[in-house]
């Protein structure tokens, strides 16, 4: 599995993943979540469900839509009011990119533009936020640009 971006929040997490094959995502997520649940229960001496349901996934085109999604994920903790600047949240790929010892990110199919950190810290447009949020909730691609389904 290729990891393009992540943000770990107190109540959820967001990952931007790039599977090698169509069947990889479900199998990889099952392994990740199962390992997490087992460790969680072992450490706390508890049992039962800790996740509400199946993970949500939607397709992302490898163009400007990918950059919009990467920015959305990198700003998740800013929108939640946990930090003022995106790179300040230590459990995100944007912060990790500033450190040498971090979770390795795979090269993206689209290069990040110059001044990426500044772009992420700019207030996102209402249209970009709504498109990403709608796709995230519905777990399906969104029409984020007129005439183009992504």
Residue 138 has, within 13 A of its CA and on its CB side, a CA count of 11
pLDDT bracket for residue 64 (50, 70, 90): confident
Residue 148 lies in a domain: no
Q: What is the number of domains present in the chain?
A: 1
Q: Is residue 98 part of a domain?
A: yes
Please say if the pLDDT value at position 144 is more than 80: no
User: Any idea what the CATH number is for the domain that residue 80 is in?
Assistant: 3.30.70.1290
- The segment with the largest mean pLDDT, out of 1-10, 60-69, 140-149, is 1-10
Instruction: Report the C-alpha gap between 27 and 87 in whole angstroms.
Output: 31
Q: Is residue 145 part of a domain?
A: no
Range of the domain at 84: 2-138
Residue 149 domain flag: no
Neighbours of 135 (CB within 10 A): 23
Q: For the chain, what is the radius of gyration of the CA atoms?
A: 16
What would the mean pLDDT of 49-66 be, rounded to a whole number? 82
């Amino acid at each position: 599995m290729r990891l393009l971006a992540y943000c770990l929040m107190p109540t959820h997490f967001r990952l931007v993943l790039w599977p090698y094959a169509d069947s990889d995502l479900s199998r990889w997520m099952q392994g990740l979540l199962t390992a997490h649940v087992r460790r969680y229960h072992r450490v706390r001496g508890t049992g039962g469900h800790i996740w509400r349901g199946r993970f949500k996934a939607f397709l992302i085109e490898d163009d400007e839509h990918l950059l919009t999604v990467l920015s959305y994920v990198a700003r998740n903790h800013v929108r939640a009011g946990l930090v003022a600047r995106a790179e300040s949240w230590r459990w995100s790929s944007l912060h990790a990119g500033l450190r040498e010892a971090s979770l390795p990110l795979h090269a993206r199919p689209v290069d990040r533009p110059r001044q990426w950190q500044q772009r992420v810290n700019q207030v996102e447009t209402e249209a970009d936020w709504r498109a990403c949020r709608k796709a995230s909730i519905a777990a399906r691609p969104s029409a984020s640009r007129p005439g183009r389904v992504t």
